[in-house]
Amino acid sequence: MFDLAELDPVYYFLAISFAAIFGATLGSFLNVCIWRLPREGLSLSSPSRSHCPACGAAIPWYDNIPMLSWLALGGRCRACRAPISVRYLIVEALTAMLFAVLAAKFLDPGDPRWPELLVLGALVSALVVASFIDIDLRILPDEITLGGMMLVPAVALLVPELHTRPADGTIWRLLAVTGDGLAAADLVPGFLREPEPAALVGAVLAAAGATAGLHGFRLYWRLTHPGEPKPLRDGALASVLAGTVVPVAWAVAVRPEWALHPRVISLASALAGMAAGSALVLSVGIAGRVLFRKEAMGFGDVKLMGLLGGFAGWIGVLAGFALACLLGSMVGVARLAITRSRYLWFGPFLSLGCLLVILFPAALRRAFEWYLGLFR
């Protein structure tokens, strides 16, 4: 009879290996997303098969094996021998590595954390696509940034462990005070505390909040961008956020003790992170435009930091931004010395900085404490 403890290292190795293989395979699809998503006339489903950008020849399955096919072909198309960008190999290898890291962190045999693994796997995939599109075309697609932000409230409510291992102390204290205040005020009449009336009012408030968010954004856009067409996705984001926050606030008013429910803490942490991330980059962009008379941060970076803040929390997104600035300046100096180019895409560094904070907060804290110790 096998001892389960003896099988744990084997399980762990197989889990990480399978995750790496899956990541490489997914990376092949992400390459398709990177090429097609920002280009007019292309979609993820059409054309149905991958093809050579130079000659248009369809790529057979044996030339589409992640990493191995690129290496076997020497980075060239079999049909026309045109070079195939090394980016394809890099994306597949990078995605394989990232999924192996996720598996190593979240598939501990004693405590596998599948929900967190799946959510962060989706986030990592989105960040890889957004980062390489930014490198190629200097844009961050709304399909990823705004689409991801719309999903953040649902993710925070369904997978509260993302923000409650451990809970943000600042958010916890704020919610504790709010719950105590609501309990003392006793604002909701007794008959509305019954399950059926409370649920009905919550549904009505959700619809009202979603409608108010959409019309509030329309009014904001009309005042700040007169004559310009309003972006539908931005209005949908406002609708989703308001339609989530209002009924949750009502639930806490009905049951003040729910203020410290893990799902409420998670939602509050995610929303605070989204607000902090977007506001930080927007402020830096405005300051750069005023001081240097040129664009310092694109609005795509504002949306990306909103998405990242939804997973990192408000403290994490600030730390991630600082780390991104450090990494970006190091690469920027080297790029300037080698290519004489002063332009540097910042989306990949924002993604990397916040992802490091999400995955390795304890290690980064120790590194920071060590750095501060050098000056004592």
Per-residue pLDDT at 299: 82
pLDDT of residue 225: 77
Could you list the mean pLDDT of each consecutive 10-residue stretch along the chain, which spans 376 residues? 54 90 96 91 77 82 90 90 92 97 90 94 98 94 94 97 92 96 90 91 96 90 79 86 96 95 97 96 84 73 95 96 93 86 87 96 86 76
CA angle in degrees (0–180, nearest 5) for 136-87-150: 55
- Residue 167's DSSP bridge partners are 164
Tokens representing 6 are: 């003896």
Return the pLDDT at 296. Answer: 62
Closest CA to 260 of 352, 171, 332: 171
Question: What sign has the CA pseudo-torsion 207, 208, 212, 215?
Answer: positive
Task: Give this prediction's pTM.
Answer: 0.91
The answer to whether the beta carbons of residues 310 and 268 sit under 8 Å apart is no
pLDDT of residue 235: 87
> What single letter denotes the amino acid at residue 305?
M
Q: How do 107-108 and 111-112 pair as beta strands? A: antiparallel
pLDDT at res. 4: 40
**CA-CA-CA-CA dihedral for 8, 14, 16, 21, to nearest 10:** -170
